[in-house]
Chain A
């Protein structure tokens, strides 16, 4: 809050009032901080959850393997050419009692690594090593959930950005221009939004195997329509207001009217939808992964974990972890959404009769 007060000039009073209102709704406000922290942490997940060490001290040299190229076993005096096993290296250094040491991240497993135990078979139950256990291939569930979360959030944020870009542009133009353009697009959107997205994805998946971007493209292609209706209504409303008329009378150009007058005044509608769109994006990706039409294996994904969990109900830690994680994130997003909607509501008090 303090941070915002340092630049009071840049925020107009309405926005400031909305912000204060948002902050006063504690549930939403704290949810925002929690979710923000989670996203920030997931962005640097490599430092927390990784099979690579943070720092290796070997023969007087320091190595920081996290983000760089692969360091082979030979780099550290071992006899193999492939990437060094840092956990084994740590043990090795400790046994030899020399000045070399390895600093591992708190969770020394990444999302792809299979950690198999002799004479036992995955999935392994939660233990001190794997806090939430492993999945059916022996991969750490914490790692899968965190990296899966990062991908899901990135997916839904990018999806939302493009969805809104297209939706707002077209919706705005429909409202501003009206007439034939409006009529044609209304019909087009009605038809377009009746195409079942899931089936399209299934059909496309049978032609080209979906990747992150293909999936995103399909989702964008079918979800931009939602936003157009709201924007169309909003810009129709603003367009008929006196100040727009006044702007037109003094000779303001179309783009100027749209960007300076209509958009800023109708943006509040859009903002309230953002958190729910993000939640919808996460859910959609999870659903697709669950059905097997999502991101290709072995990409860490909640949907795939959920599928494994429901298939292996006798290993309850899989399904529990992912369901709890998902509920938590969706709950946070919903709380934020609620608070934003409340903050943008022009009526501060409601009276019910």
Chain B
């Protein structure tokens, strides 16, 4: 997930909390053991084990020790191809940047949704991962897994080699602790509290290295597997009490990934060091990866400065976050270092679910309650021109709310194009027949003026163009740029008219309930920002959520998509099918450069990251050549392996 997406997801995360209704299962929150007395070492652990034994016993409501069901079909994956570079060399220091110095090193709780969190998340492994090319499950902390016929439960055999960074083995208790930890009030994280209550029902320990995770609702196998593949939490490290948030702000939590923080210079940089004897070194899907010995993440708050640092050779790469802004790619990434081959450029197409970015119309607003007005608006927004001009044709028009989900995506639902005649037709049906002296349509002395709320100042120029085009249809878009917190509050209270945004994405299949079910309409703090309240859509979404086999889910998803199109609450915007990056010549990439789901070639995430490596000999050569002015063959890569051709 790119940093932007991460931000989007985190910004939106807090809207999830009011969504799910409370259900009864497993253990309720008040059953969580009260604060432990502050005793030291073994005493605490003994007590903790004791309490947890009782607590697990309650939780699964099975007498004594739970037994594994017989006839489980254990699965693993040791056949899918290795996607790392077999020639990768270890070593070197990789220098990259962050725009925001973290205000905490916690990954949950207040302020933990900052940009730097993604570097911490990269080293937090889950039970299973997803092969970035075949998309099959692959082992991470579990060696094998088995599905229960109930469609809600998955059994995992844990890897005996897995170690925390302080050398303590990762065992079943750490997974049980995850549930206790994430449900705790002390972490002050409503989103995690909610997820580990309303998605994850319980964790069951069979022995130190065998567990089961049970979800709340039944789902098709793979969707269930990735939904329930939780991460362990080091129980020997945390003392959960009301001071946890403050006490753990700057404590470095043991992790299971390849890197751990080794140095923090507040306000300057944070350095990660690779673990010398990392337990995953020889695992099939971890070998040849995470090659640099050190990752130095420098704080550079300004985009221009970031590029300047890179151009001077003080950063190794300029990543997709920078080059998603066209001017950097077209105007800055030019000239001598590129022509002489010191710096390489790559444009890489990927195949991932696309952020549903565009305009969300609040159907509770009196003006937008009329479906004809909404459809008129959809025909009055000229995304085609925006893409062709200011966005330099780099982006494609987004067609519907769930693109990039493979079979689940309905290819027949296409976004409404800019069409003044159609706009006029629908506006007239809604009664906006006359135009006022300023050229804006009027009805009963009311002007057809709608407020568009957004956050990023970079997007002002996009909206200015759309505003001018919409004016031709007799609509006024009044632009309201808000800072993120005001925006979040307005959205949470559903006081917006039109909001210009994208939702966080993930998973294998689109999720409709949060955003389009009437359960979440007309109430604050839910993801149904359009306030869609349509009985037909509700029925389909309920059926979609209840269905467990893929074909019927796909069919329902297509039907829902069609209904959403007719509802007209969302005007699809644009999507970016690729990313662009630049790197100094000494940074080496595998032959395939990246993977199907890469969103950067220079990330270090467990999923598809850590494939690049640093060639120190080449670095010396390039440094020398820069002084002597020598040339190398230029590197200009366009990779379309995973390109999904626009339909």
Chain A residues with a Cβ under 8 A of chain B: 68-70, 72, 80-83, 112-114, 116, 121-122, 136-139, 205-207, 209, 292, 296-298, 307, 310-315
Task: Mark each residue of chain B from 341 to 352: 1 if its CB lies under 8 Å from any CB of chain A, else 0.
Answer: 000000000000
**CB nearest neighbor in B for A297:** B460
**Known contacts A121-B390, A312-B327; A206/B483 CB under 8 A:** yes
In angstroms, Cα B525 to Cα A283, docked, is: 40
Structural contact, A81 and B461, CB atoms closer than 8 A: no
- Are A209's CB and B468's CB within 8 A? no
Once the chains bind, are B460 and A121 in contact (CB under 8 Å)? no
Contact among A81, A121, A136, A312 with B474 in the assembled complex (CB-CB below 8 Å): A81
Q: Are A121 and B392 in contact (CB under 8 A)?
A: yes
Q: Give the distance in Å from the alpha carbon of A315 to the alpha carbon of B304 in the complex.
A: 13
Do A207 and B471 touch across chains, with their CB atoms under 8 A apart?
no
B480 engages A209 (CB within 8 Å): yes
Query: Looking across the interface, which residue of chain A has its beta carbon closest to that of B461?
Result: A137
Besides A82-B439, A122-B390, 12 other A-B contacts (C-beta < 8 A)? A81-B474, A82-B420, A82-B472, A83-B472, A121-B326, A137-B464, A292-B481, A297-B457, A298-B464, A311-B303, A313-B304, A314-B327
* Contact bitstring B510-527, A, C-beta under 8 A = 1, else 0: 000000000000000000
CB contact under 8 A between A83 and B439, given known A116-B389, A122-B390, A298-B460: yes
Alpha-carbon distance between A314 and B392 when the two chains are bound, in angstroms: 18
Find out whether the CB atom of A137 lies under 8 angstroms from the CB atom of B390. Answer: yes
B424 on interface, CB distance cutoff 8 Å: yes
Q: Is B485 an interface residue (CB 8 A)?
A: yes
Q: CA separation between A312 and B332, bound complex, in Å? A: 10
Q: Tell me whether A69 and B437 are in contact (CB under 8 A).
A: yes
Q: Complex: how many Å from CA A81 to CA B425?
A: 13
Chain A residue nearest to B334 (CB atoms) is A314
Q: Which B residues are CB-close (under 8 A) to A112? A: 464, 468
Contacts of B471 in A (CB 8 A): 82-83
Interface residues as binary, B443-464 with A (CB distance below 8 Å gives 1, 0 otherwise): 0000000000000010011011
The reply to whether B435 and A205 form a contact with Cβ atoms under 8 Å apart is: no
B123 to chain A, nearest CB (A): 34
Tell me the minimal C-beta distance from B433 to chain A in angstroms: 11
- Please give, as numbers and ranges, the residues of chain A lying within 8 Å of B438 by CB-CB distance: 69-70
Contact with A along B292-320 (1 / 0, CB 8 A): 00000000000110000000000000000
The residue from B332, B389, B424, B435 contacting A72, defined by CB atoms under 8 A apart:
B435
Measured between C-beta atoms, what is the minimum distance from B576 to chain A in Å?
16
Chain B interface residues (CB < 8 Å from chain A): 303-304, 326-327, 330-332, 389-390, 392, 420, 424, 435, 437-439, 457, 460-461, 463-465, 467-468, 471-474, 479-483, 485-486
Question: Across the interface, do A72 and B331 meet the contact criterion of CB distance under 8 Å?
Answer: no
Inter-chain CA distance A6–B242, complex, in Å, is 82
Q: How far is the CB of A243 from chain B (nearest CB, A)?
A: 56
B327 with A206: CB separation less than 8 A:
no
A205 to B455, CA, bound (A): 13
Contact, CB under 8 Å: B479 / A70:
no
Residues of A within 8 A of B392 (CB): 121
Chain B residues whose CB sits within 8 angstroms of the CB of A311 once the complex forms: 303-304
CA distance A55 to B510 in the complex (A): 57
A121–B389 Cα gap in the complex (Å)? 6
- In the assembled complex, which residues on chain B have CB atoms less than 8 Å from the CB atom of A206? 483, 485-486
B330, B474, B479, B482: the one contacting A298 at CB < 8 Å is B479
Q: List, in ascending order, chain A residues with CB within 8 A of B464's CB.
A: 112, 114, 137, 139, 297-298
A81 to B436, CA, bound (A): 12
Chain B residues positioned under 8 Å from A313 (CB to CB):
304
Closest residue of A by beta carbon distance from B490:
A209
Bound form: Cα–Cα A191–B185 in Å = 40
**Nearest B-chain residue to A314, judged by Cβ:** B331
Q: A114-B468, A121-B389, A298-B467 are in contact. Are A82 and B482 (CB under 8 A)?
A: no
12 A–B contacts, CB within 8 A, in A order? A81-B435, A82-B474, A112-B468, A136-B461, A206-B486, A209-B482, A297-B457, A297-B479, A310-B304, A312-B327, A313-B304, A314-B327
A121 to B461, CA, bound (A): 12
Given A112-B464, A137-B465, answer yes or no on A296-B472 (Cβ-Cβ < 8 Å).
no
Chain A nearest CB: distance from B99 CB in Å?
Answer: 14
> Which chain B residues border A82 with CB–CB below 8 Å?
420, 439, 471-474
Cα–Cα distance between A63 and B398 once the two chains are bound (Å): 43
Report chain B residues within 8 Å CB of A292.
457, 481, 483
Task: Kindly list chain B residues whose C-beta atoms are within 8 Å of the C-beta of A81.
Answer: 424, 435, 474
Partner of B480, one of A72, A296, A315: A296
Q: Is the CB of B330 within 8 A of A121?
A: yes
Q: Smallest Cβ distance from A293 to chain B, in angstroms?
A: 9
**Chain A residues whose C-beta falls within 8 Å of the C-beta of B461 in the assembled complex:** 136-137
The distance in angstroms between the C-alpha atoms of A113 and B469, with both chains bound, is 10
Nearest CB of A to B390, in Å: 7
